[in-house]
Amino acid sequence: RDLLEVARTVVSSLELDQVLQVILTSALRFADMPAGSIALYDTAQGELTLHAHQGLSPEFVNTERWEILPGGVTD
């Protein structure tokens, strides 16, 4: 049922953030997790950008972007 909902959203919307939010909501439900996020890597800027979130602190959500540092730790 969750995969069907994701598929319906993907074919009915060209809005990336809406599609990612549906995918995140479905994944959190499937994994029985209260919070999560999807961030995409911007190769031109060398940073992660938050595109979908649920159940996270306002401080985390307000950050929106994280610089990728050598060794895999974000700033």
pLDDT value for 69? 78
Positions in the chain short of pLDDT 50? none
pLDDT value for 40? 92
CB 49 within 8 A of CB 39: yes
Which two tokens mark 13? 């919307």
Q: How many CA atoms lie within 13 A of 17 on its CB side?
A: 6
Q: Are strands 47-54 and 36-42 parallel, antiparallel or unpaired?
A: antiparallel
pTM of the model: 0.75
Chain segment 55-65, per-residue pLDDT in tens: 999 998 998 88
